[in-house]
Amino acid sequence: MTAALARAQSAALHRAEADARLAALEISRARHETEGAAAVARMAAVRDDLARVLPEGLDRSTSAEGLEDWMRRREAALEGYGAWQAAARDLAGAVRRQVAARDALAAGLAASGQDVAEGAPLAVLAAQARVLLERAQGRAALVEAREAAALDLRRRQEAQARAQAVMQGWRDDWQAACARLPVGVDGADVALMGGVLDLLQGVEQAWRELRGLRDRIGKMQANRAAFEDAVTALAGRLGLPGNDPAASWAALRARQRVALDGQARRHAVQNKLTEGAQTTQALHETLAGIEARLAAFCAYFDCDEVQSLHQLVEQAGRRQVLAAERDRLARDICEGMGTDSLADAVAALDGLDRPALAAEREGLIAAQQRQAQELQRLYAELAQAQGRIDAVGGDDAVARLQEERQTLLLQITEEAHAYLRQRLGIAAVDHALQGYRDSHRSAMMQRASDAFRTITRGDYSGLAAQPEGEREVLVAMAATGASKLARDLSKGTRFQLYLALRVAGYHEIAGARDTVPFIADDILETFDDDRAAETFALLSGMAGVGQVIYLTHHRHLCDIAQRICPAVRIHALG
Protein backbone atom coordinates (compact mmCIF):
# COMPACT_ATOMS: atom_id res chain seq x y z
CA MET A 1 0.00 0.00 0.00
CA THR A 2 2.92 2.30 0.70
CA ALA A 3 4.25 1.62 -2.83
CA ALA A 4 0.85 2.47 -4.34
CA LEU A 5 0.73 5.68 -2.33
CA ALA A 6 4.25 6.55 -3.52
CA ARG A 7 3.23 5.90 -7.12
CA ALA A 8 0.13 8.07 -6.70
CA GLN A 9 2.18 10.88 -5.20
CA SER A 10 4.71 10.56 -8.05
CA ALA A 11 1.92 10.65 -10.66
CA ALA A 12 0.40 13.71 -8.97
CA LEU A 13 3.82 15.39 -8.97
CA HIS A 14 4.31 14.62 -12.69
CA ARG A 15 0.84 15.94 -13.47
CA ALA A 16 1.57 19.14 -11.56
CA GLU A 17 4.83 19.56 -13.50
CA ALA A 18 3.01 18.94 -16.83
CA ASP A 19 0.33 21.49 -15.89
CA ALA A 20 3.04 24.01 -15.06
CA ARG A 21 4.81 23.41 -18.39
CA LEU A 22 1.47 23.68 -20.24
CA ALA A 23 0.73 27.01 -18.54
CA ALA A 24 4.22 28.27 -19.45
CA LEU A 25 3.71 27.21 -23.06
CA GLU A 26 0.35 28.98 -23.17
CA ILE A 27 1.98 32.15 -21.87
CA SER A 28 4.80 31.81 -24.44
CA ARG A 29 2.24 31.24 -27.25
CA ALA A 30 0.29 34.33 -26.22
CA ARG A 31 3.51 36.37 -26.12
CA HIS A 32 4.55 35.10 -29.56
CA GLU A 33 1.12 35.90 -31.00
CA THR A 34 1.38 39.40 -29.54
CA GLU A 35 4.89 39.83 -30.97
CA GLY A 36 3.74 38.48 -34.38
CA ALA A 37 0.84 40.92 -34.47
CA ALA A 38 3.22 43.75 -33.54
CA ALA A 39 5.64 42.64 -36.30
CA VAL A 40 2.79 42.55 -38.85
CA ALA A 41 1.75 46.03 -37.75
CA ARG A 42 5.36 47.28 -38.04
CA MET A 43 5.65 45.66 -41.50
CA ALA A 44 2.44 47.39 -42.58
CA ALA A 45 3.75 50.69 -41.23
CA VAL A 46 7.03 50.21 -43.07
CA ARG A 47 5.15 49.43 -46.29
CA ASP A 48 3.01 52.57 -45.78
CA ASP A 49 6.17 54.63 -45.27
CA LEU A 50 7.89 53.04 -48.27
CA ALA A 51 4.83 53.44 -50.50
CA ARG A 52 5.57 57.15 -50.66
CA VAL A 53 9.19 56.68 -51.81
CA LEU A 54 9.00 53.45 -53.80
CA PRO A 55 9.61 53.74 -57.55
CA GLU A 56 6.98 53.05 -60.15
CA GLY A 57 5.96 49.38 -60.19
CA LEU A 58 6.28 48.88 -56.39
CA ASP A 59 3.43 49.58 -53.97
CA ARG A 60 1.93 48.17 -50.76
CA SER A 61 0.91 45.00 -52.56
CA THR A 62 4.52 44.17 -53.42
CA SER A 63 5.75 40.97 -51.78
CA ALA A 64 8.58 40.90 -49.26
CA GLU A 65 10.79 39.11 -51.81
CA GLY A 66 10.20 41.84 -54.39
CA LEU A 67 10.90 44.50 -51.81
CA GLU A 68 14.14 42.76 -50.79
CA ASP A 69 15.17 42.50 -54.44
CA TRP A 70 14.49 46.25 -54.90
CA MET A 71 16.49 47.01 -51.74
CA ARG A 72 19.44 44.93 -53.00
CA ARG A 73 19.38 46.70 -56.34
CA ARG A 74 19.12 50.07 -54.57
CA GLU A 75 22.14 49.23 -52.41
CA ALA A 76 24.09 48.16 -55.50
CA ALA A 77 23.14 51.41 -57.25
CA LEU A 78 24.18 53.44 -54.18
CA GLU A 79 27.49 51.58 -54.03
CA GLY A 80 28.07 52.28 -57.75
CA TYR A 81 27.16 55.94 -57.29
CA GLY A 82 29.53 56.16 -54.32
CA ALA A 83 32.32 54.57 -56.34
CA TRP A 84 31.66 57.04 -59.19
CA GLN A 85 31.80 59.96 -56.75
CA ALA A 86 35.05 58.62 -55.26
CA ALA A 87 36.53 58.28 -58.77
CA ALA A 88 35.42 61.82 -59.59
CA ARG A 89 37.02 63.11 -56.38
CA ASP A 90 40.23 61.20 -57.17
CA LEU A 91 40.23 62.66 -60.69
CA ALA A 92 39.73 66.19 -59.39
CA GLY A 93 42.53 65.68 -56.84
CA ALA A 94 44.83 64.36 -59.55
CA VAL A 95 44.07 67.40 -61.74
CA ARG A 96 44.77 69.76 -58.82
CA ARG A 97 48.02 67.96 -58.05
CA GLN A 98 48.99 68.12 -61.72
CA VAL A 99 48.34 71.89 -61.83
CA ALA A 100 50.27 72.40 -58.57
CA ALA A 101 53.17 70.32 -59.89
CA ARG A 102 53.20 72.33 -63.14
CA ASP A 103 53.21 75.65 -61.26
CA ALA A 104 55.99 74.47 -58.92
CA LEU A 105 58.06 73.18 -61.86
CA ALA A 106 57.56 76.43 -63.79
CA ALA A 107 58.61 78.47 -60.73
CA GLY A 108 61.71 76.29 -60.25
CA LEU A 109 62.69 76.65 -63.93
CA ALA A 110 62.17 80.41 -63.81
CA ALA A 111 64.27 80.62 -60.63
CA SER A 112 67.11 78.74 -62.37
CA GLY A 113 67.16 81.30 -65.21
CA GLN A 114 65.23 79.32 -67.78
CA ASP A 115 62.70 80.84 -70.18
CA VAL A 116 59.29 79.39 -69.34
CA ALA A 117 56.53 79.84 -71.94
CA GLU A 118 53.19 81.03 -70.61
CA GLY A 119 50.71 78.15 -70.38
CA ALA A 120 53.29 75.52 -71.36
CA PRO A 121 52.01 71.96 -70.61
CA LEU A 122 53.49 69.82 -67.88
CA ALA A 123 55.17 67.44 -70.34
CA VAL A 124 57.11 70.31 -71.98
CA LEU A 125 58.16 71.68 -68.59
CA ALA A 126 59.21 68.20 -67.46
CA ALA A 127 61.33 67.74 -70.60
CA GLN A 128 62.95 71.17 -70.08
CA ALA A 129 63.63 70.36 -66.42
CA ARG A 130 65.04 66.96 -67.39
CA VAL A 131 67.49 68.60 -69.83
CA LEU A 132 68.52 71.13 -67.16
CA LEU A 133 68.97 68.35 -64.60
CA GLU A 134 71.09 66.31 -67.00
CA ARG A 135 73.33 69.34 -67.61
CA ALA A 136 73.68 69.93 -63.86
CA GLN A 137 74.48 66.27 -63.31
CA GLY A 138 77.11 66.46 -66.07
CA ARG A 139 78.76 69.51 -64.48
CA ALA A 140 78.68 67.83 -61.07
CA ALA A 141 80.29 64.73 -62.58
CA LEU A 142 83.05 66.88 -64.15
CA VAL A 143 83.70 68.66 -60.84
CA GLU A 144 83.83 65.33 -59.04
CA ALA A 145 86.23 63.94 -61.66
CA ARG A 146 88.47 67.03 -61.33
CA GLU A 147 88.58 66.64 -57.55
CA ALA A 148 89.38 62.95 -57.88
CA ALA A 149 92.20 63.74 -60.36
CA ALA A 150 93.67 66.35 -58.01
CA LEU A 151 93.55 63.88 -55.10
CA ASP A 152 95.21 61.19 -57.23
CA LEU A 153 97.94 63.70 -58.26
CA ARG A 154 98.68 64.50 -54.61
CA ARG A 155 98.87 60.80 -53.79
CA ARG A 156 101.25 60.17 -56.70
CA GLN A 157 103.50 63.07 -55.64
CA GLU A 158 103.63 61.77 -52.06
CA ALA A 159 104.46 58.25 -53.34
CA GLN A 160 107.24 59.69 -55.55
CA ALA A 161 108.74 61.54 -52.55
CA ARG A 162 108.67 58.36 -50.47
CA ALA A 163 110.27 56.37 -53.30
CA GLN A 164 113.05 58.94 -53.69
CA ALA A 165 113.74 58.82 -49.92
CA VAL A 166 113.88 55.01 -50.04
CA MET A 167 116.21 55.12 -53.08
CA GLN A 168 118.57 57.53 -51.29
CA GLY A 169 118.64 55.27 -48.21
CA TRP A 170 119.44 52.26 -50.40
CA ARG A 171 122.33 54.12 -52.04
CA ASP A 172 123.79 55.04 -48.63
CA ASP A 173 123.54 51.39 -47.50
CA TRP A 174 125.15 50.28 -50.77
CA GLN A 175 128.15 52.61 -50.33
CA ALA A 176 128.64 51.41 -46.76
CA ALA A 177 128.48 47.74 -47.82
CA CYS A 178 130.96 48.28 -50.69
CA ALA A 179 133.38 50.05 -48.34
CA ARG A 180 133.57 46.92 -46.18
CA LEU A 181 134.38 44.60 -49.12
CA PRO A 182 138.07 43.58 -49.63
CA VAL A 183 137.60 43.32 -53.36
CA GLY A 184 139.04 46.71 -54.15
CA VAL A 185 136.06 47.80 -56.27
CA ASP A 186 134.75 51.29 -56.06
CA GLY A 187 131.25 51.23 -54.62
CA ALA A 188 130.19 54.03 -56.89
CA ASP A 189 130.45 51.69 -59.93
CA VAL A 190 127.21 49.83 -59.35
CA ALA A 191 127.35 48.00 -62.70
CA LEU A 192 130.79 46.52 -62.02
CA MET A 193 129.85 45.49 -58.50
CA GLY A 194 126.66 43.90 -59.88
CA GLY A 195 128.76 41.80 -62.30
CA VAL A 196 131.00 40.61 -59.48
CA LEU A 197 128.00 39.65 -57.36
CA ASP A 198 126.43 37.80 -60.31
CA LEU A 199 129.67 35.87 -60.86
CA LEU A 200 129.90 34.87 -57.18
CA GLN A 201 126.24 33.82 -57.21
CA GLY A 202 126.86 31.72 -60.35
CA VAL A 203 129.83 29.96 -58.70
CA GLU A 204 127.71 29.08 -55.69
CA GLN A 205 124.89 27.78 -57.91
CA ALA A 206 127.35 25.65 -59.94
CA TRP A 207 128.82 24.16 -56.74
CA ARG A 208 125.32 23.18 -55.51
CA GLU A 209 124.47 21.60 -58.91
CA LEU A 210 127.78 19.65 -58.86
CA ARG A 211 127.06 18.20 -55.43
CA GLY A 212 123.52 17.27 -56.53
CA LEU A 213 124.77 15.53 -59.69
CA ARG A 214 127.35 13.53 -57.75
CA ASP A 215 124.65 12.41 -55.29
CA ARG A 216 122.28 11.43 -58.12
CA ILE A 217 125.04 9.50 -59.95
CA GLY A 218 125.81 7.50 -56.80
CA LYS A 219 122.15 6.68 -56.21
CA MET A 220 121.58 5.71 -59.85
CA GLN A 221 124.60 3.39 -59.81
CA ALA A 222 123.30 1.73 -56.62
CA ASN A 223 119.85 1.35 -58.17
CA ARG A 224 121.35 -0.15 -61.32
CA ALA A 225 123.35 -2.71 -59.34
CA ALA A 226 120.29 -3.65 -57.28
CA PHE A 227 118.18 -3.95 -60.48
CA GLU A 228 120.80 -6.24 -62.14
CA ASP A 229 120.92 -8.42 -59.03
CA ALA A 230 117.09 -8.67 -58.95
CA VAL A 231 116.90 -9.51 -62.70
CA THR A 232 119.64 -12.17 -62.34
CA ALA A 233 117.85 -13.72 -59.34
CA LEU A 234 114.44 -13.75 -61.13
CA ALA A 235 116.01 -15.24 -64.30
CA GLY A 236 117.60 -17.96 -62.21
CA ARG A 237 114.23 -18.79 -60.57
CA LEU A 238 112.61 -19.04 -64.02
CA GLY A 239 115.42 -21.10 -65.55
CA LEU A 240 116.66 -18.39 -67.90
CA PRO A 241 120.36 -17.70 -68.67
CA GLY A 242 121.49 -14.99 -66.24
CA ASN A 243 124.88 -14.00 -67.67
CA ASP A 244 123.60 -10.84 -69.41
CA PRO A 245 121.14 -8.75 -67.26
CA ALA A 246 119.89 -6.86 -70.36
CA ALA A 247 119.07 -10.09 -72.24
CA SER A 248 117.48 -11.52 -69.09
CA TRP A 249 115.32 -8.38 -68.70
CA ALA A 250 114.16 -8.58 -72.35
CA ALA A 251 113.24 -12.26 -71.92
CA LEU A 252 111.33 -11.42 -68.69
CA ARG A 253 109.40 -8.61 -70.44
CA ALA A 254 108.45 -10.95 -73.29
CA ARG A 255 107.19 -13.63 -70.87
CA GLN A 256 105.26 -10.92 -68.94
CA ARG A 257 103.52 -9.73 -72.13
CA VAL A 258 102.55 -13.33 -73.00
CA ALA A 259 101.17 -13.86 -69.48
CA LEU A 260 99.21 -10.57 -69.54
CA ASP A 261 97.73 -11.42 -72.97
CA GLY A 262 96.64 -14.85 -71.72
CA GLN A 263 95.12 -13.33 -68.58
CA ALA A 264 93.20 -10.74 -70.66
CA ARG A 265 91.86 -13.43 -72.98
CA ARG A 266 90.85 -15.54 -69.98
CA HIS A 267 88.96 -12.58 -68.45
CA ALA A 268 87.26 -11.84 -71.79
CA VAL A 269 86.13 -15.46 -72.16
CA GLN A 270 84.84 -15.49 -68.57
CA ASN A 271 82.92 -12.22 -69.18
CA LYS A 272 81.39 -13.64 -72.36
CA LEU A 273 80.37 -16.80 -70.50
CA THR A 274 78.81 -14.73 -67.72
CA GLU A 275 76.97 -12.47 -70.18
CA GLY A 276 75.75 -15.50 -72.13
CA ALA A 277 74.43 -17.10 -68.93
CA GLN A 278 72.67 -13.86 -67.94
CA THR A 279 71.19 -13.45 -71.43
CA THR A 280 69.99 -17.05 -71.41
CA GLN A 281 68.41 -16.56 -67.97
CA ALA A 282 66.72 -13.33 -69.11
CA LEU A 283 65.42 -15.02 -72.27
CA HIS A 284 64.04 -17.90 -70.22
CA GLU A 285 62.31 -15.46 -67.86
CA THR A 286 60.93 -13.42 -70.78
CA LEU A 287 59.70 -16.58 -72.48
CA ALA A 288 58.03 -17.71 -69.24
CA GLY A 289 56.36 -14.30 -68.88
CA ILE A 290 55.15 -14.38 -72.50
CA GLU A 291 53.80 -17.91 -72.08
CA ALA A 292 52.03 -16.87 -68.84
CA ARG A 293 50.48 -13.81 -70.51
CA LEU A 294 49.42 -15.90 -73.51
CA ALA A 295 47.82 -18.40 -71.15
CA ALA A 296 46.03 -15.58 -69.32
CA PHE A 297 44.84 -14.08 -72.62
CA CYS A 298 43.64 -17.46 -73.87
CA ALA A 299 41.81 -18.06 -70.58
CA TYR A 300 40.23 -14.60 -70.75
CA PHE A 301 39.09 -14.95 -74.39
CA ASP A 302 38.17 -18.62 -73.92
CA CYS A 303 40.35 -19.95 -76.74
CA ASP A 304 42.90 -22.75 -76.90
CA GLU A 305 45.14 -21.70 -79.78
CA VAL A 306 47.42 -18.70 -80.25
CA GLN A 307 46.06 -18.24 -83.79
CA SER A 308 42.54 -17.75 -82.45
CA LEU A 309 43.90 -15.30 -79.89
CA HIS A 310 45.67 -13.41 -82.68
CA GLN A 311 42.40 -13.14 -84.62
CA LEU A 312 40.63 -11.83 -81.50
CA VAL A 313 43.34 -9.24 -80.95
CA GLU A 314 43.03 -8.12 -84.58
CA GLN A 315 39.26 -7.81 -84.13
CA ALA A 316 39.81 -5.73 -80.98
CA GLY A 317 42.21 -3.48 -82.89
CA ARG A 318 39.68 -3.01 -85.71
CA ARG A 319 37.05 -2.21 -83.07
CA GLN A 320 39.29 0.49 -81.59
CA VAL A 321 39.93 1.94 -85.05
CA LEU A 322 36.19 2.02 -85.79
CA ALA A 323 35.48 3.58 -82.39
CA ALA A 324 38.13 6.25 -83.02
CA GLU A 325 36.64 6.93 -86.47
CA ARG A 326 33.19 7.20 -84.89
CA ASP A 327 34.48 9.68 -82.30
CA ARG A 328 36.28 11.69 -84.99
CA LEU A 329 33.13 11.91 -87.11
CA ALA A 330 31.15 12.95 -84.03
CA ARG A 331 33.70 15.69 -83.28
CA ASP A 332 33.59 16.90 -86.89
CA ILE A 333 29.80 17.09 -86.74
CA CYS A 334 29.88 18.94 -83.41
CA GLU A 335 32.51 21.38 -84.70
CA GLY A 336 30.54 22.01 -87.86
CA MET A 337 27.30 22.55 -85.93
CA GLY A 338 28.91 24.50 -83.08
CA THR A 339 27.52 22.16 -80.40
CA ASP A 340 29.06 20.25 -77.49
CA SER A 341 27.66 16.80 -78.20
CA LEU A 342 26.32 14.75 -81.08
CA ALA A 343 22.88 14.61 -79.42
CA ASP A 344 22.72 18.43 -79.37
CA ALA A 345 23.69 18.56 -83.06
CA VAL A 346 20.98 16.04 -83.98
CA ALA A 347 18.43 17.94 -81.87
CA ALA A 348 19.43 21.22 -83.55
CA LEU A 349 18.85 19.69 -87.02
CA ASP A 350 15.41 18.31 -86.19
CA GLY A 351 13.64 21.51 -87.20
CA LEU A 352 15.71 22.17 -90.34
CA ASP A 353 16.13 20.43 -93.65
CA ARG A 354 19.91 20.74 -93.57
CA PRO A 355 20.55 17.98 -96.16
CA ALA A 356 18.26 19.80 -98.56
CA LEU A 357 20.12 23.06 -97.91
CA ALA A 358 23.49 21.37 -98.41
CA ALA A 359 22.29 19.63 -101.57
CA GLU A 360 20.88 22.91 -102.89
CA ARG A 361 24.17 24.65 -102.12
CA GLU A 362 26.15 21.96 -103.94
CA GLY A 363 23.76 22.18 -106.89
CA LEU A 364 24.08 25.95 -107.03
CA ILE A 365 27.88 25.70 -106.94
CA ALA A 366 27.83 23.17 -109.78
CA ALA A 367 25.41 25.34 -111.76
CA GLN A 368 27.62 28.34 -111.17
CA GLN A 369 30.62 26.48 -112.52
CA ARG A 370 28.63 25.39 -115.60
CA GLN A 371 27.40 28.95 -116.17
CA ALA A 372 30.95 30.29 -115.92
CA GLN A 373 32.17 27.74 -118.47
CA GLU A 374 29.27 28.54 -120.78
CA LEU A 375 29.96 32.26 -120.42
CA GLN A 376 33.59 31.75 -121.41
CA ARG A 377 32.50 29.68 -124.40
CA LEU A 378 30.05 32.37 -125.53
CA TYR A 379 32.66 35.08 -125.20
CA ALA A 380 34.98 32.97 -127.34
CA GLU A 381 32.22 32.57 -129.95
CA LEU A 382 31.58 36.33 -129.82
CA ALA A 383 35.24 37.03 -130.48
CA GLN A 384 35.22 34.61 -133.42
CA ALA A 385 32.04 36.17 -134.82
CA GLN A 386 33.51 39.66 -134.50
CA GLY A 387 36.55 38.45 -136.40
CA ARG A 388 34.36 37.05 -139.14
CA ILE A 389 32.42 40.35 -139.32
CA ASP A 390 35.62 42.27 -139.75
CA ALA A 391 36.68 39.92 -142.54
CA VAL A 392 33.36 40.19 -144.45
CA GLY A 393 32.90 42.72 -147.28
CA GLY A 394 29.72 44.69 -148.23
CA ASP A 395 27.31 41.82 -149.05
CA ASP A 396 24.40 40.48 -146.95
CA ALA A 397 26.83 38.37 -144.87
CA VAL A 398 27.27 41.43 -142.65
CA ALA A 399 23.54 41.50 -141.87
CA ARG A 400 23.54 37.80 -141.05
CA LEU A 401 26.56 38.17 -138.82
CA GLN A 402 24.94 41.16 -137.12
CA GLU A 403 21.83 39.10 -136.48
CA GLU A 404 23.94 36.27 -135.07
CA ARG A 405 25.79 38.82 -132.95
CA GLN A 406 22.58 40.17 -131.50
CA THR A 407 21.40 36.63 -130.80
CA LEU A 408 24.66 35.82 -129.04
CA LEU A 409 24.46 39.06 -127.01
CA LEU A 410 20.93 38.19 -125.86
CA GLN A 411 22.04 34.69 -124.98
CA ILE A 412 25.03 36.06 -123.06
CA THR A 413 22.75 38.48 -121.22
CA GLU A 414 20.37 35.69 -120.22
CA GLU A 415 23.25 33.43 -119.16
CA ALA A 416 24.81 36.30 -117.15
CA HIS A 417 21.50 36.93 -115.38
CA ALA A 418 21.20 33.24 -114.59
CA TYR A 419 24.80 33.24 -113.32
CA LEU A 420 24.09 36.21 -111.04
CA ARG A 421 20.94 34.51 -109.72
CA GLN A 422 23.00 31.42 -108.92
CA ARG A 423 25.66 33.53 -107.15
CA LEU A 424 23.02 35.35 -105.12
CA GLY A 425 21.41 32.04 -104.21
CA ILE A 426 24.73 30.62 -103.00
CA ALA A 427 25.39 33.78 -100.98
CA ALA A 428 21.90 33.55 -99.44
CA VAL A 429 22.44 29.90 -98.50
CA ASP A 430 25.84 30.71 -96.99
CA HIS A 431 24.31 33.60 -95.06
CA ALA A 432 21.53 31.34 -93.79
CA LEU A 433 24.01 28.67 -92.70
CA GLN A 434 26.16 31.28 -90.94
CA GLY A 435 23.10 32.70 -89.19
CA TYR A 436 22.10 29.21 -88.15
CA ARG A 437 25.56 28.57 -86.65
CA ASP A 438 25.58 31.95 -84.89
CA SER A 439 22.11 31.50 -83.40
CA HIS A 440 22.80 27.94 -82.23
CA ARG A 441 26.32 28.50 -80.86
CA SER A 442 26.37 27.64 -77.15
CA ALA A 443 27.53 29.79 -74.24
CA MET A 444 30.85 27.93 -74.22
CA MET A 445 32.47 30.63 -76.42
CA GLN A 446 31.46 33.36 -73.97
CA ARG A 447 32.76 31.35 -71.02
CA ALA A 448 36.04 30.68 -72.86
CA SER A 449 36.33 34.41 -73.71
CA ASP A 450 35.86 35.34 -70.04
CA ALA A 451 38.47 32.79 -68.95
CA PHE A 452 40.97 33.95 -71.62
CA ARG A 453 40.47 37.59 -70.61
CA THR A 454 41.01 36.67 -66.93
CA ILE A 455 44.18 34.63 -67.58
CA THR A 456 45.76 37.36 -69.75
CA ARG A 457 44.82 40.03 -67.16
CA GLY A 458 42.88 42.05 -69.72
CA ASP A 459 45.55 42.02 -72.47
CA TYR A 460 42.96 40.22 -74.62
CA SER A 461 39.28 41.15 -74.38
CA GLY A 462 37.94 37.80 -75.55
CA LEU A 463 37.57 35.29 -78.38
CA ALA A 464 35.60 35.24 -81.62
CA ALA A 465 35.10 32.89 -84.55
CA GLN A 466 35.42 33.77 -88.21
CA PRO A 467 34.88 31.61 -91.32
CA GLU A 468 37.92 30.34 -93.23
CA GLY A 469 36.85 28.37 -96.24
CA GLU A 470 34.55 25.55 -95.16
CA ARG A 471 35.36 25.89 -91.45
CA GLU A 472 35.71 28.46 -88.70
CA VAL A 473 38.88 29.52 -86.86
CA LEU A 474 39.40 31.12 -83.46
CA VAL A 475 40.42 34.79 -83.30
CA ALA A 476 41.89 36.42 -80.16
CA MET A 477 40.65 40.01 -79.68
CA ALA A 478 43.34 42.22 -78.11
CA ALA A 479 42.43 44.97 -75.64
CA THR A 480 43.81 47.56 -78.10
CA GLY A 481 41.22 46.53 -80.70
CA ALA A 482 43.54 44.42 -82.85
CA SER A 483 42.88 40.74 -83.57
CA LYS A 484 45.13 37.72 -84.07
CA LEU A 485 44.47 34.22 -85.32
CA ALA A 486 45.14 31.49 -82.77
CA ARG A 487 48.04 30.15 -84.85
CA ASP A 488 49.69 33.62 -84.88
CA LEU A 489 49.83 33.91 -81.08
CA SER A 490 53.01 33.32 -79.09
CA LYS A 491 53.64 29.90 -77.55
CA GLY A 492 52.71 31.00 -74.01
CA THR A 493 49.53 32.81 -75.16
CA ARG A 494 48.46 29.75 -77.19
CA PHE A 495 48.84 27.64 -74.05
CA GLN A 496 46.68 30.15 -72.17
CA LEU A 497 44.03 30.04 -74.95
CA TYR A 498 44.00 26.23 -74.83
CA LEU A 499 43.61 26.33 -71.04
CA ALA A 500 40.69 28.80 -71.34
CA LEU A 501 38.95 26.39 -73.75
CA ARG A 502 39.56 23.51 -71.34
CA VAL A 503 38.09 25.51 -68.44
CA ALA A 504 34.99 26.41 -70.47
CA GLY A 505 34.57 22.82 -71.65
CA TYR A 506 34.89 21.52 -68.08
CA HIS A 507 32.10 23.84 -66.89
CA GLU A 508 29.90 22.80 -69.82
CA ILE A 509 30.40 19.10 -69.00
CA ALA A 510 29.82 19.74 -65.31
CA GLY A 511 26.47 21.37 -66.11
CA ALA A 512 25.25 18.35 -68.10
CA ARG A 513 26.66 15.24 -66.40
CA ASP A 514 28.94 13.95 -63.65
CA THR A 515 32.48 15.28 -63.87
CA VAL A 516 35.79 13.49 -63.81
CA PRO A 517 38.92 14.92 -62.10
CA PHE A 518 40.72 17.66 -64.01
CA ILE A 519 44.47 16.85 -63.96
CA ALA A 520 47.06 19.37 -65.19
CA ASP A 521 50.83 18.68 -65.32
CA ASP A 522 52.87 21.93 -65.00
CA ILE A 523 50.80 23.83 -67.56
CA LEU A 524 51.86 27.15 -65.94
CA GLU A 525 55.55 26.69 -66.76
CA THR A 526 55.48 29.50 -69.39
CA PHE A 527 53.16 31.78 -67.36
CA ASP A 528 54.40 34.74 -65.32
CA ASP A 529 53.35 35.07 -61.66
CA ASP A 530 50.41 37.42 -62.33
CA ARG A 531 48.84 35.19 -65.01
CA ALA A 532 49.55 32.12 -62.85
CA ALA A 533 47.60 33.77 -59.99
CA GLU A 534 44.63 34.47 -62.30
CA THR A 535 44.76 30.88 -63.57
CA PHE A 536 44.71 29.49 -60.02
CA ALA A 537 41.61 31.61 -59.37
CA LEU A 538 39.91 29.93 -62.38
CA LEU A 539 41.02 26.49 -61.17
CA SER A 540 39.55 27.34 -57.76
CA GLY A 541 36.23 28.05 -59.49
CA MET A 542 36.45 24.70 -61.31
CA ALA A 543 37.06 22.99 -57.95
CA GLY A 544 33.58 24.15 -56.91
CA VAL A 545 31.98 21.79 -59.47
CA GLY A 546 34.56 18.99 -59.59
CA GLN A 547 38.01 17.86 -58.49
CA VAL A 548 41.10 19.73 -59.76
CA ILE A 549 44.59 18.19 -59.45
CA TYR A 550 47.66 20.24 -60.42
CA LEU A 551 51.13 18.64 -60.61
CA THR A 552 54.24 20.85 -60.38
CA HIS A 553 57.84 20.91 -59.17
CA HIS A 554 57.97 24.70 -58.81
CA ARG A 555 57.71 25.79 -55.15
CA HIS A 556 56.66 29.39 -55.98
CA LEU A 557 53.53 28.07 -57.74
CA CYS A 558 52.52 26.34 -54.48
CA ASP A 559 52.91 29.66 -52.64
CA ILE A 560 50.78 31.46 -55.25
CA ALA A 561 48.09 28.74 -55.05
CA GLN A 562 47.94 29.03 -51.23
CA ARG A 563 47.66 32.82 -51.49
CA ILE A 564 44.85 32.72 -54.09
CA CYS A 565 42.95 29.72 -52.66
CA PRO A 566 43.62 29.26 -48.91
CA ALA A 567 41.58 26.02 -48.89
CA VAL A 568 43.96 24.31 -51.34
CA ARG A 569 45.47 21.00 -50.22
CA ILE A 570 49.15 20.47 -51.11
CA HIS A 571 50.73 16.98 -51.16
CA ALA A 572 54.54 16.72 -51.28
CA LEU A 573 55.53 13.52 -53.11
CA GLY A 574 58.87 11.96 -52.15
pLDDT tier, 470 (very low <50, low <70, confident <90, very high otherwise)? low
481: left (phi over 0), alpha (psi -120 to 50) or beta: left
- What does pTM read for this prediction? 0.28
Mean pLDDT check: name the lowest of 278-287, 293-302, 515-524: 293-302
- pLDDT for 193 equals 65
pLDDT of 29 higher than 80: no
Mean pLDDT of 133-153: 85
**pLDDT tens string 431-455:** 666 665 555 455 777 888 888 888 8
Give the per-residue pLDDT at 457: 82
- The answer to which of 15-19, 81-85, 454-458 has the lowest mean pLDDT is 15-19
Q: Write the pLDDT tens digit of every residue in 323-355.
A: 887 787 777 777 766 777 777 776 766 666 666
Q: What is the pLDDT of residue 167?
A: 86
| Cα-trace Rg, the chain | 53
- Tell me which range, 200-204, 240-244, 251-255, is most confidently predicted by mean pLDDT: 251-255
State the pLDDT at residue 440: 45
Which DSSP string do the residues of 185-252 spell out, in sequence order? --TT-HHHHHHHHHHHHHHHHHHHHHHHHHHHHHHHHHHHHHHHHHHHHHHHHTT---S-HHHHHHHH
pLDDT in tens, 493-536: 888 888 888 888 888 888 777 878 888 888 888 788 888 888 88
Considering only residues 356 and 154, tell me which one the structure prediction assigns the higher pLDDT.
154
- Split at pLDDT 50, 70, 90, the class of 249 is confident
> Percentage of residues in the chain with pLDDT exceeding 70?
78
User: What is the predicted pLDDT for the residue at 116?
Assistant: 67
Specify whether the CB–CB gap between 404 and 385 falls below 8 A: yes
